[in-house]
Amino acid sequence: MIDGISPETLAALERAALPDFPRWQQMITATGGCAHPIRLVGRRLTFTNSLDVIDSYRTADEPTGYLLTACGNRRASRCPACSATYRDDTYHLILSGLRGGKGVPDDITAHPRVFATFTAPSFGPVHRRREAGGKTLPCRPRRDHPLCPHGRPLWCRVPHSADDSQVGQPLCGDCYDYFGAVLWNAHAGLLWRTFTRTLPVALAGLAGLSRAALRACLRPSFAKVAEYQARGLVHFHAVIRLDGPDGPTSPPPAWATTGLLADAIRIAAGAVQLPIDDPNPDDPPRLLRWGGQLDVAPVHLGAGLDGVSDQRVASYVAKYATKGAEASGTVDRPIRTLRDVAYLDVTEHARRMIYTCFLLGDLAAYRAVPLRRWAHMLGYGGHFSTKSRHYSTTLASLRHARAAYRAEQSGHRRTTHDPDSGTYITVQEWRFAGSGLRRGEAHWAEIARERIATARHIQRERLKNNRP
Ligand SMILES: [Zn+2]
Ligand SMILES: [Zn+2]
Ligand SMILES: [Zn+2]
C-alpha cells in the first residue's frame, strides 16, 4: 500500500502499466468511454470478387486480444457515455428536421411546424409542485379541509420543492385509480398512433378537401418522445411539421399555415377515444383519451417570439430520449416475479403501479399488452422516441457514420472501401467474450467520456453561436 494513494488510483496506475494499455485506451475512447463495454473476439475478412484479400482483421493480433464495443444503452442511469451519444444523435435528428441538414433541405425552415405536448388525464389528486413568479406555492390549499372516504386529507399546504419525493404521490393511494393509470400508460402508444391517423382527417376537414385530395398536396410528419411525469404517467412531446406531398423536399400549399396545423392538432387530439375493457367484466368499457391540457407552440428559428426556438425543442426532445421511467421513482430494469416487487427500492406509488401491472397482466382482456414485462415501466411499453419516415435522417444512419469514423480513428478498419466502386465481400465472425470494465479501467473510461463530453459541448456552443 502506497501512502496517500487510494486503491482505485493505484489500480488505475497498474492498468496503465500493462503492455496493452495504449491500444485499450484507443478502444475505450472509440466507445465514447462506455461504462459497460462489450469484449468481442473474432475476425473479419474483406475480399474482392476475384478473391483478393483487401482487409483482414483478427482480434488475436490485437495487444488486448479482443475488441471493445459500446454497450449502446440509451439510458443515462445505465451508461452515461452511450446515453450522451444517443442524446447527441437525437438532438441532431430533431434539429435537422427543423433547420435542414443531414439530407433535409434548408428551406424546411419555411414549413409550418409546432411543438406539442400531449398529457395524460388525472387518475386522482397527487402532491404537486406549484410555482408562480419564482415562488413555490402550497400544494393543494383548501379552506374546507375535505377528507376522502378513507378519512385522508384531500388538501395539502406544503410548498413542495422540485426534488421533494412527495411530488407525484397520490393524496390517497386507496382512492387513486390505479387500473385507469396503468391502462392509460399501456395504451398511450396506441393513443398516439390513433392521433397520427386522425390528424390528416382533421386537416382535410379544415381545408375542405377529401382525404385523397389532401394526400396529393400535404403530408404531416412527426418526431415524438415520451417523458414520465412524477405521477408515473407518460407524456408525449412531439414536433409536428407539414410538408408537401413528397415530404421535406416539397413545400406545403400556402393555405397550410402554422395556425391551421395547431387547430387540426387540437381537433384531432380531442377526437381520439379508445374503448378498453374494464378489469371488471360487468362494468362498461373505459374510454381512454388525452388529458385536457394540450400545449401547442409554433417552433421558430432561434429564440424570441411567441413560440419556442428550434434548438430548445431539439435539446428538450434529446434530453427526454435518454430518460426512462426511473424519473418517476421506479426501477430501470424488468421485474421478474411478483415476489420481487415488495423489495424494490421504489416509491409506494410506483410499487402500486407495478402491482397493478402484475394484476392486470393476468387478465385475458389485456393479453395484447404484456403488462408484466412492462411493469417496471409502469405499464408503458412503447418506444421512447419515434419519428415518421419523412421527418429527417435516422438514428441508424447517424450511428453508421460515427462508427465508421471512430473505427478509422482507432485504426481498427484499415481499408476504407467505397461501396460504389465495386463489390466487396466481407465475412466476419464474432464471439462475446465478456462485458463491463475490469479492475482499474473505470478511471480511464471516465476520462475518455469526459473528454468527449467537453468536445461535444464546445461543438454545440459553436453551433449555437452560428445562429443568424
Ligand atoms: Zn455504454
Ligand atoms: Zn402536497
Ligand atoms: Zn381515500
Distance between Cα 72 and ligand 1 center (Å): 5
Distance between Cα 444 and ligand 1 center (Å): 14
Distance between Cα 332 and ligand 2 center (Å): 26
Place of cell 373505459: 286
Q: CA-CA distance, 376 to 340, in Å (whole number)?
A: 11
pLDDT tens digits for range 391-428:
887 777 777 776 666 655 555 544 444 444 567 788 88
Q: CA-CA distance, 232 to 303, in Å (whole number)?
A: 31
Q: CA-CA distance, 279 to 265, in Å (whole number)?
A: 31
User: For position 405, what pLDDT does the model report?
Assistant: 62
Q: CA-CA distance, 439 to 112, in Å (whole number)?
A: 54
Determine the angle formed by the axes of helices 80-99 and 395-409, rounding to 10 degrees: 120
Distance between Cα 347 and ligand 1 center (Å): 27
Find the ligand nearest to 172 CA. 3
Find the ligand nearest to 139 CA. 2
User: Quick one: which of 440, 436, 448 has its CA closest to 71?
Assistant: 436
User: Quick one: which of 158, 102, 153 has its CA closest to 129?
Assistant: 158
Distance between Cα 283 and ligand 3 center (Å): 21
Distance between Cα 128 and ligand 2 center (Å): 6
- State the burial class of residue 2 (Cβ atoms within 10 Å of its Cβ: 0-12, 13-18, 19+): exposed
Q: CA-CA distance, 225 to 118, in Å (whole number)?
A: 10
Q: CA-CA distance, 65 to 75, in Å (whole number)?
A: 29
H/E stretch holding 235: strand 234-243
Backbone angles phi, psi at 172, to 5 degrees: -135, 115
Q: Is the dihedral of CA 230, 234, 239, 241 positive or negative?
A: negative
Distance between Cα 360 and ligand 3 center (Å): 21
Distance between Cα 148 and ligand 3 center (Å): 5
Determine the angle formed by the axes of helices 178-207 and 258-271, rounding to 10 degrees: 140
Find the ligand nearest to 148 CA. 3
Distance between Cα 102 and ligand 3 center (Å): 53
User: Quick one: which of 237, 241, 240 has its CA closest to 294?
Assistant: 237
Distance between Cα 156 and ligand 3 center (Å): 14
User: For position 349, what pLDDT does the model report?
Assistant: 95
Find the ligand nearest to 173 CA. 3
Distance between Cα 326 and ligand 2 center (Å): 21
Q: CA-CA distance, 200 to 220, in Å (whole number)?
A: 7
Distance between Cα 436 and ligand 1 center (Å): 9
Distance between Cα 172 and ligand 3 center (Å): 5
Q: CA-CA distance, 229 to 336, in Å (whole number)?
A: 24
Distance between Cα 125 and ligand 3 center (Å): 10
User: For position 10, what pLDDT does the model report?
Assistant: 93
In this structure, which residues have their CB less than 5 angstroms from ion ligand 1? 34, 70-71, 79, 82
Place of cell 473528454: 451
C-alpha cell read off for 340: 420481487
Report in angstroms the alpha-carbon separations of 330 from 181, 373, 461. Answer: 15, 14, 34
Backbone angles phi, psi at 240, to 5 degrees: -125, 125
Distance between Cα 325 and ligand 2 center (Å): 22
Find the ligand nearest to 177 CA. 3
Distance between Cα 228 and ligand 3 center (Å): 24
User: For position 1, what pLDDT does the model report?
Assistant: 52
Distance between Cα 359 and ligand 3 center (Å): 20
- State the burial class of residue 64 (Cβ atoms within 10 Å of its Cβ: 0-12, 13-18, 19+): middle
CA dihedral 434, 440, 445, 448 (to 10 degrees): -140
User: For position 468, what pLDDT does the model report?
Assistant: 41
3-state secondary structure of 57: strand
Q: CA-CA distance, 276 to 40, in Å (whole number)?
A: 46
Which positions of the chain have pLDDT values less than 50?
Answer: 413-420, 468
> Domain extents for the chain?
7-76+395-465, 105-123+177-387
pLDDT tens digits for range 430-465:
889 999 999 999 999 999 999 988 988 887 787 766
Distance between Cα 29 and ligand 2 center (Å): 46
> pTM of the full predicted structure?
0.82
